[in-house]
Amino acid sequence: MTQPRREPPEIDERKLEVVREMLRNGFPGWAVEDAADELDRATRFFSVRQGREPRHRLSVSREFFHDHPIERIEPLLQSWRLVGALKQAGLRPVVVGSIGVHIGG
């Protein structure tokens, strides 16, 4: 008998807002949007746009949000230089996991 698949717990909205605010501060005047991936609920996607054009893409793992308390999110992302990584990456995706930031290929 198979067990029903349990949905992972929702990501704390306050933690999402910390990331949104960091992106808004790092890219003043640009639009910041985010959404859950319907196929891969283990990731939250963020998009930073200038006008209608997407400029930066970020995915943050659910593990990151669950492994770190809210008061550690911003200091960690600052120490990992998230905004700088996004600027360096351009349109390449940037991924945040529990142990750091990675620029995709």
The reported pLDDT for the residue numbered 8 is: 63
Q: Enumerate the domain spans of the chain.
A: 13-103
pLDDT, tens digit (0-9, with 9 covering 90-100), for 8-53 = 678 899 999 999 999 999 999 999 999 987 776 779 999 999 988 8
pLDDT, tens digit (0-9, with 9 covering 90-100), for 69-82 = 999 999 999 999 99
Residue from 53, 45, 51, 61 nearest 93 by CA? 45
7, pLDDT greater than 70: no
